[in-house]
Chain A
Amino acid sequence: AQKVTQAQTEISVVEKEDVTLDCVYETRDTTYYLFWYKQPPSGELVFLIRRNSFDEQNEISGRYSWNFQKSTSSFNFTITASQVVDSAVYFCALSVPPNAGNNRKLIWGLGTSLAVNP
């Protein structure tokens, strides 16, 4: 069975703090993709990153960085020097091969609500 767990329901930090959002996934497939999306209060989901299962290199994009570790089935997301504009719900998602002819779906975590306070 495939599953994505975001154990942190809500996180509250003060501006300029670093914060790490955890994501643990389960799948028996050897080929899969992992995603992070941001959903600000406006509601629109914003794509942040896609990582395939064969690429364990960590990635940095400005203040954002992602740590992919297959050994622990984790794909954690760190925001450095957080800002108020980072306040949003962050979703981790897993894409696995389709079965029974259906389209490849995204399996979503429940999301982590991040509040960055001034």
Chain B
Amino acid sequence: GAVVSQHPSRVICKSGTSVKIECRSLDFQATTMFWYRQFPKKSLMLMATSNEGSKATYEQGVEKDKFLINHASLTLSTLTVTSAHPEDSSFYICSARGGLGVWDTQYFGPGTRLTVL
């Protein structure tokens, strides 16, 4: 149980284009989903937290207009990197937390490696 999928696993795009990444909880309902960014050999940096049906809460320094997050259902959240630039190249990871218990464990997707040319 507690499987989270992410799609695509890898994407290469041209500078200026937008890229959408999907995160799905496959066998549980995720009341909260999180989006992280990870640079090579670094720890995870939380970008935003999203609750189903409401606006995402962004961490300080993360541009909400640049990184659009939608959590339309209890099993799907999307991250859209708008007008991507080479500095947006990174490993993006989502996680999902199920249930009403706020102490519930976060389960992670396999990540999406974004390369912007």
Contact = CB atoms under 8 A, between A and B. Distances in A.
A46 B108 CA distance: 7
B46 interface: yes
A108 B49 CA distance: 15
A45 B93 contact: yes
A23 to B, nearest CB: 13
B110 interface: yes
Interface residues of B, number: 24
A106 interface: yes
Interface stretch (A11-19, A57-65, A72-80, A97-105): A97-105
Specify the main secondary structure of chain B where it touches its partner: strand
Interface in B22-57: 32, 34, 41-44, 46, 49, 51, 57
Nearest to B6: A44
A110 B93 contact: no
Interface string A62-101: 0000000000000000000000000000010001001000
Contacts of B103: 33, 52, 95, 104
A102 B57 contact: yes
A118 interface: no
A46 B93 CA distance: 12
A42 interface: yes
A44 B108 contact: yes
Interface in A27-60: 33, 35, 37, 42-47, 50, 52
A108 B43 contact: yes
Given A33-B103, A102-B57, A42 B110 contact: yes
Interface of A: 33, 35, 37, 42-47, 50, 52, 91, 95, 98, 102-106, 108-111, 113
Interface of B: 2, 32, 34, 41-44, 46, 49, 51, 57, 91, 93, 95, 102-103, 105-111, 113
